[in-house]
Chains A and B, each alone.
Chain A
Amino acid sequence: MKFLSHQQIQRLLTIGAVLVLVIVLIPLIGLLLGLWAGPQHPFMGASASLADIFRQAGVLKLLVNTVSLAAIVSIFSTLVGLWFAWVEQRAQYPGVKLLGVCNLLPLAMPSFVIALTLRETFAPSSFFGTLFHLPVFSGFVAAAIVLTISTLPYSQLLLSAALKRGSLSEEEAARCLGAAKHSVFWHVVLPKLRPSFAFAWLISILYVISDFGAVAILDTPVLTWRLYQAVGYQQLSQATLLGFVIMVFSIPVLFIARALHGVALEITQVGNPRPTVRHRLQLPTLIATYSLHVLVIGLGVLLPVLTLGLWVYRGWLHQLVFAPILPPIVDTLAVSIPSALGIAVLALLPAWAVARSTGRYSGWLIEQSTYITSCLPGILLAFGLMLTSLFVSRLSTNPAFVYQLILNSGILLFLGYAMRFIAEAYAGLKSAILLFDPRLTEIARTLNTPVWTYLTKVFIPSLMPGLTVAFILVLMNLVKELPVSLLLGSAMGLRTLSYQVYDYYQQAFLHDAGLAGLVILLLSFTLLTLTLRWRRHV
């Protein structure tokens, strides 16, 4: 098998990328079809006009809340994530590796679990509440804290992967030429981190825009929370309107991310990269770093785990019967692992196409389309997918059979997941591809290296950190994902662990909610540990 020409590769990449994007845009088609069929409440008949809906839903106020929350969370998340990534890759202090891994553990916790456990922990009559005379842990500030903790691991992972693949030789050269440390950082390191920084910021913003669990628990009225309510109340016109407002809001966000991204710098180093040189931190910096670790791990992991553990302990103490835990574990693994693999592979096409794009607008269009779908809440996507499948089934001669086949095959579930999380896989992969030296491809082509050898010995190993990051990010999200699993997974009879936590907490079966929550954490921590060991190995 021979190497294809550049034009052939570019053509294939673009076709593949467009195909991926058409697939992930299917739910939007379903929503439009539903809207076109008539903006009616399914039981109550014709709904109000769009202007009335806009006013009734209080869209402007919701938009202000959403923008404020997204801005604050994304800034804190990327800045603190950058620091954690930096110390993980470049600093030496006791526990750096373990703490770096522990920082990632909030990835394993659904944001609404962190929210409800912190709400209980800091309630006015709790130990902390009484000691510090705390008000109720709810509202804007509480939501900002919880969502910052939830998004911090994304930033750390993306920036850490970029630092790992960065060019240390250039930094060493700059230092040899007399540049100070901060100068090296600003003029050598930061430009190379810029794409990853932009992606980390973008993912944080998209996460906040699409989250509803934490904001609902903490009584923070934002767009997604109202959209979730609208879908729940079957106010389809309002749900679709809010969905479009979210999409429209995301467009300037994408422009800002593009401006932050800048022009991607290519690797200028050929040959073996220098090993990482780790520096000791000065005492004030060390104290600040440890404090940040304590804050993130304490609020994002320890307190939620202790609260969940307390619920389980009380259940055991009072001899309560625990609901079976094995079936939701099986269901969670059965959907999340192959879906994460599939989404990572799916995201490779648009990431590769954009990273190697020579067209002025084609790459940008593909990229924005990837992000647009990820900013929509899962509940809206799931509903759109169901409407699409119903429409498709009605075109056949046996609608009931076709509809059942679509539901049971899991394709809807996978599409829902793909729409929600393809942007996260894409971000990590694009960074990795940008840092891949294209001259290696030219060298392989010149030496007549077999394509398969090139792919297995050069290309895939080089992309492994990025692929690993993509797989981890998506998998962690899938293990704790709720709205898509709720609507589309339950249509298949699946009950995931996250759904178990949500359902049992709603009904005050705290011992069962606690057990399911602890299992999510254990599962995710195990996956994280195995995957990080594998990443180091390659």
Chain B
Amino acid sequence: MVRKLSITIVIILIIIGGVIFLKTRQGQSGDTLVVYSGRSAALVAPLFQQFEQDSGINLDVRYNDTPPLATQVLQEGDSTPAEVLFFQDSGYLGLLANAGLLQQLDPEILNQVDPAFRDPGGYWVGVSGRMRVLSYDPNVISEQDLPKTLTDLLDPKYKGQVGVTFDNPSFQAQITALRTLWGEQKTLEWLQGLKDNDVRNYGTSPQVVSAVANGEILMGLTNHYYLYNLKKNNPNLAAANYIFPAEGKDANLMIVSGIAITEGSHQVALAKKFIEYLLSPKAQQYITMAVYEYPTRSGFAANPELPDIKQTELADINQTVLADLNPTIQDLQQLGLL
């Protein structure tokens, strides 16, 4: 019995050792690119796999949320193994650029992207965009009766009927944008107003959309693409997206997912190929048709199912300010919303 156990343990350890060896070798291989991805594997893994097949370049992708990845890069400094950073929002890329940890991209890459979706300093470009929208049930309330501005959400008639996700980075980015657009005082008053109006806090954005469809709440602030992902599993989902009209444009925040090359990258040529691939029509087609996000390539048409942003007035905000997260978190904690 003990002999069998010992043999089993040795075999397992040999297998594990082999896996580690192969992974380390892969990391040291000349045709391998280490990518730190703040984008979810659920959304981008198929795209990365397609890149590997089309280019023959291996990707060693490390997934995690954007803030800890950005801090990891900052802590790692020159030691970072990351060649490419692909973050959920571009604010942290701006901060890393300020810290001297990114290198400027070639004009050939920068010029492929709409100027509104790239860094003015040339350190990052946007790969896709996500819109903040109001999810609602069209069977219960018509679009004409929906609030016209974010401030209208404080109307007592919506008491306990509005859902948000205070813990979600995208909603926190929205609050951060409001702090720039409205100022600190007005933003604090708005958050207090939400609290006084019994706003419902959910753990995740899909829960907000589900709550709308389930009749728990009348409406909720979320990202536009969750609706389409949920509808894949349930085409009869009773929910729709609403974009605020011009008078409420401060709510129409487009959060851009950006990509950059680290200053210490040893695979700059491969990194550029990777970025160019993500900006190519093939990849942008996948991003908008399969992931339901907005393309950033100049002149590339978005999925016709998505709300037409050309007819929309977007919030006038610089993406870099979205990384100013700390005061937002402190405001939410002070108000007891976190």
Interface residues of A (CB under 8 A from B): 41-44, 47-48, 56-58, 119-120, 123-126, 136, 216-219, 226, 229, 231-235, 311, 314-315, 318, 320-321, 323, 334, 337-338, 341, 383, 386-387, 390, 393-394, 399-400, 403-405, 407-410, 456, 460, 486-487, 490-493, 495, 499-500, 503-512, 538
Contact of A123 with B71 in the complex, beta carbons under 8 Å: no
Interface residue? B9 (CB, 8 A): yes
Given A400-B78, A492-B23, A508-B230; A42-B64 close (CB under 8 Å): no
In the A-B complex, the 5 residue pairs with the closest CB atoms: A508-B229, A125-B214, A508-B206, A507-B42, A400-B79
Contact of A314 with B233 in the complex, beta carbons under 8 Å: yes
Interface residue? B76 (CB, 8 A): yes
Q: Quick one: closest A residue to B328, CB to CB?
A: A233
A125-B216, A507-B226 known; 19 other A-B pairs, CB under 8 Å? Answer: A42-B71, A219-B201, A226-B338, A233-B325, A234-B67, A235-B326, A315-B233, A321-B46, A323-B42, A338-B9, A387-B75, A390-B75, A390-B76, A408-B27, A409-B24, A460-B2, A506-B205, A511-B232, A512-B42
Q: Using Cβ atoms and an 8 Å threshold, which residues of chain B touch A409? A: 20, 24
Q: Using Cβ atoms and an 8 Å threshold, which residues of chain B touch A43? A: 70-71, 74, 92, 95, 99, 323, 326
Contact of A408 with B67 in the complex, beta carbons under 8 Å: no
Given A334-B16, A338-B13, A508-B230; A219-B202 close (CB under 8 Å): yes
Interface residue? B81 (CB, 8 A): yes
> Distance in Å from the Cβ of B231 to the closest Cβ of chain A?
9
Interface residue? B204 (CB, 8 A): yes
Count, chain B residues at interface, CB 8 A: 70
Interface residues in B250-270 by Cβ distance below 8 A to A read none
A-B pairs with beta carbons under 8 Å apart, 7 shown: A125-B214, A125-B215, A234-B68, A318-B232, A386-B75, A495-B63, A500-B41
Q: Total contacts A to B, CB within 8 angstroms?
A: 171
Given A390-B79, A509-B42, A512-B42; A493-B67 close (CB under 8 Å): no
> Distance in Å from the Cβ of A115 to the closest Cβ of chain B?
9
Chain A: interface secondary structure? helix
Interface residues in B208-222 by Cβ distance below 8 A to A read 209-210, 213-216
Interface residue? B301 (CB, 8 A): no
Interface residue? B280 (CB, 8 A): no
> Distance in Å from the Cβ of A152 to the closest Cβ of chain B?
24
Which of B141-149, B310-318, B329-337 touches A? B329-337
Given A56-B334, A338-B16, A512-B42; A490-B62 close (CB under 8 Å): yes
Interface residue? B235 (CB, 8 A): yes
Interface residues in B72-90 by Cβ distance below 8 A to A read 72, 74-76, 78-81
Interface residue? B60 (CB, 8 A): yes
Q: Using Cβ atoms and an 8 Å threshold, which residues of chain B touch A499? A: 63
Q: Using Cβ atoms and an 8 Å threshold, which residues of chain B touch A399? A: 78-79
Q: Using Cβ atoms and an 8 Å threshold, which residues of chain A touch B210? A: 120, 123
Interface residue? B181 (CB, 8 A): no
Interface residue? B15 (CB, 8 A): yes
Docked Cα-Cα span, A318 to B233, in Å, equals 7
Q: Using Cβ atoms and an 8 Å threshold, which residues of chain A touch B61? A: 493
> Distance in Å from the Cβ of B203 to the closest Cβ of chain A?
5
Q: Using Cβ atoms and an 8 Å threshold, which residues of chain B touch A234? A: 67-68, 70-71
Contact of B206 with A505 in the complex, beta carbons under 8 Å: yes
B67, B99, B233, most chain A CB atoms within 10 A = B233
Contact pattern, B 21-39, Cβ under 8 Å of A = 1, otherwise 0: 0011001000000000000
Docked Cα-Cα span, A218 to B202, in Å, equals 8
Q: Quick one: closest B residue to A404, CB to CB?
A: B81
Interface residues of B (CB under 8 A from A): 1-2, 9, 12-13, 15-16, 19-20, 23-24, 27, 40-43, 45-46, 60-65, 67-68, 70-72, 74-76, 78-81, 92, 95, 99, 167, 201-207, 209-210, 213-216, 226, 229-230, 232-235, 323-326, 329-330, 333-334, 336, 338
Q: Using Cβ atoms and an 8 Å threshold, which residues of chain A touch B46? A: 321, 323
Q: Using Cβ atoms and an 8 Å threshold, which residues of chain A touch B336? A: 58
Q: Using Cβ atoms and an 8 Å threshold, which residues of chain A touch B99? A: 43
Contact of A491 with B62 in the complex, beta carbons under 8 Å: yes
Docked Cα-Cα span, A394 to B72, in Å, equals 15
Q: Using Cβ atoms and an 8 Å threshold, which residues of chain B touch A120? A: 210
Q: Using Cβ atoms and an 8 Å threshold, which residues of chain B touch A387? A: 75
Q: Using Cβ atoms and an 8 Å threshold, which residues of chain A touch B201? A: 219
Q: Quick one: closest A residue to B215, CB to CB?
A: A125
Q: Using Cβ atoms and an 8 Å threshold, which residues of chain A touch B209? A: 508
Contact of B329 with A235 in the complex, beta carbons under 8 Å: yes
Q: Using Cβ atoms and an 8 Å threshold, which residues of chain B touch A217? A: 203-204
Q: Using Cβ atoms and an 8 Å threshold, which residues of chain A touch B62? A: 490-491, 493
Among B2, B63, B71, B76, which residue has its beta carbon within 8 angstroms of that of A490?
Answer: B63
> Distance in Å from the Cβ of A56 to the closest Cβ of chain B?
5
Docked Cα-Cα span, A399 to B230, in Å, equals 45
Given A124-B216, A216-B203; A495-B81 close (CB under 8 Å): no
Q: Using Cβ atoms and an 8 Å threshold, which residues of chain A touch B2? A: 456, 460
Given A42-B75, A311-B233, A408-B27; A233-B329 close (CB under 8 Å): yes
Contact of B41 with A503 in the complex, beta carbons under 8 Å: yes
> Distance in Å from the Cβ of B34 to the closest Cβ of chain A?
9
